[in-house]
Amino acid sequence: MLKDTFGRIHNYLRISLTDNCNLRCFYCMPEEDYAFTPQQQLMQADEIGQLAQLFVEQGVTKIRLTGGEPLVRKDAPAIIEKLAQLPVELHMTTNGIRIDDMLPQIVAAGFKSINISLDTLRPERFLQITRRNYYARVRANIDLLLQHAIPTKINMVVMKGVNDDEILDFVALTKDNPLEVRFIEFMPFSGNRWTSNQVLTYADILASVRTQYAVQPQSPGPNDTAKAFSIVGHQGRIAMISTMSAPFCAGCNRIRLTADGKLKNCLFSAHETDLLTSLRAGGDVLPLIHENIRSKAQALGGQLNENFENIDTDFLKNRSMITIGG
Ligand code: SAM
Ligand code: SF4
């Protein structure tokens, strides 16, 4: 069992398959030119399988594939097939561009849910945010997932002055589609030009939704990061991820494996444990995992404070989001 010094049991592993991506979302990538990690420094498919198996033996019951963009890896179908054989709930977060290329393997894997990132419903704005022209393909692939009855969520990072005028349009998407739209508060990472005045809080978002819709809070699960709401007359629902204004660290059950095989016990932790080098050297990885979990801070990686307006990003020691695996 992966228990930290605060009694939290970690049974949810997020595995980043790569720090490469076919989009360039400005809030995720570092501002300066970024060189993607060379292929040989990334965990190979069999190494991902070995480490995932080890985590499952330690009590992990849920695995999410993420990145970078997990589906830019040529061997993503093989990795998905391997992980689908483990006794875990399998989930994925993707920008959705390559869903159509890999649909048979995605359907066969039996994903419990797939989260697609989509921050705007306007093609020109999509191009501005992501610096690539894939809006139509992402929208078509969301429809493809729904046609195959795969539970689908949409992740929208809400940023003041960028896309906060589209909140109600996103809520409207849930009327005739069984989608969950997740509004995510904008978070600071290395090089992403975050400022606190760009954060639209969970309370702000909810107030904006309530101007037009009657919403009903849903009871949360023990480790839920999202505050979910149903909407009268809608097939789908909405949820808010309030990392900045109301963090949910007390119930945290998540750990992260970066694409280069480092274990991070929190999205905001500076500390990382190199599992891949030890695995490649034939070492015993298990004590390293337990030591990493025991060092987990009580909240926000021990780096951010709960009043996000006072965060000084110059003092944050972390990777950029694209290299962590969101
Ligand atoms: N490429 C995939 C995608 O975009 O879904 C997976 C990786 S991406 C890093 C995972 C999630 O992190 C996405 O939903 C993305 O919108 C979110 N994200 C990235 N940077 C963020 C930030 N600064 N604040 C909040 N969410 C962020
Ligand atoms: Fe790529 Fe996802 Fe980051 Fe956008 S949010 S740059 S799609 S990893």
- Secondary structure (DSSP) of 8-72: -B--EEEEE--S--S---TTTS-SS--PPPPGGGSPPHHHHHHHHHHHHHTT--EEEEESS-GGG
Within 6 A (CB) of ligand 1 lie 21, 27-28, 66-67, 69, 93-95, 117, 155, 157, 184, 186-187, 189, 192, 321-322, 326
Residue at token pair 């040989």: 40
Q: Rounding to the nearest 10 degrees, give the CA dihedral for residues 124, 127, 130, 136.
A: 80
pLDDT digits (tens, 9 = 90+) for 213-246: 999 999 888 788 889 999 999 999 999 998 888 7
pLDDT of amino acid 303: 64
Residue nearest ligand 1's atom 23 by CA: 187
Q: What is the pTM of this model?
A: 0.94
Residue 126: pLDDT over 70: yes
Chain centroid to CA 116: 10
Within 6 A (CB) of ligand 2 lie 21, 23-25, 28-29, 67-69, 95, 117, 322
pLDDT digits (tens, 9 = 90+) for 297-316: 887 766 666 676 666 666 66
How many C-beta neighbours within 10 Å does residue 314 have? 5
* Residue 39 Cα to ligand 1 middle (Å): 22
Residue 204: pLDDT over 80: yes
Could you tell me which residue, 223 or 103, shows the higher pLDDT? 103
pLDDT of amino acid 263: 96
Confidence of residue 137 (pLDDT cuts 50, 70, 90): very high
Tell me the ligand closest to 313's alpha carbon. Answer: 1
User: Cα(76)–Cα(251) distance, rounded to whole angstroms?
Assistant: 31
* Residue 158 Cα to ligand 1 middle (Å): 11
Q: Rounding to the nearest 10 degrees, give the CA dihedral for residues 138, 140, 142, 147.
A: -160
* Residue 297 Cα to ligand 2 middle (Å): 27
Lowest-confidence pick of 82-91, 156-165, 261-270: 261-270
* Residue 218 Cα to ligand 2 middle (Å): 29
Residue nearest ligand 1's atom 7 by CA: 67
Closest CA to 275 of 293, 257, 296: 257
Residue 169 φ then ψ, to 5°: -65, -40
Residue 123: pLDDT over 70: yes
CB contact at 8 A, 76 and 17:
yes
Residue nearest ligand 1's atom 15 by CA: 117
Could you tell me the domains of the chain? Answer: 12-324 (3.20.20.70)
Tell me the ligand closest to 268's alpha carbon. Answer: 1
Half-sphere exposure of residue 318: CA atoms within 13 angstroms, side-chain side = 31
Q: Going edge to edge, which strands form the sheet with 113-117?
A: 215-217, 226-231, 237-241, 180-185, 152-158, 113-117, 89-94, 62-66, 12-16, 254-257, 262-264, 273-274
Using most ligand atoms within 8 A of CB, pick from 160, 184, 241 the residue to mutate for ligand 1. 184
pLDDT of amino acid 35: 83
Question: ∠ CA 210-214-217 to the nearest 5 degrees?
Answer: 90
Residue 254: pLDDT over 70: yes
Residue 217 φ then ψ, to 5°: -65, 140
Closest CA to 113 of 66, 158, 57: 66
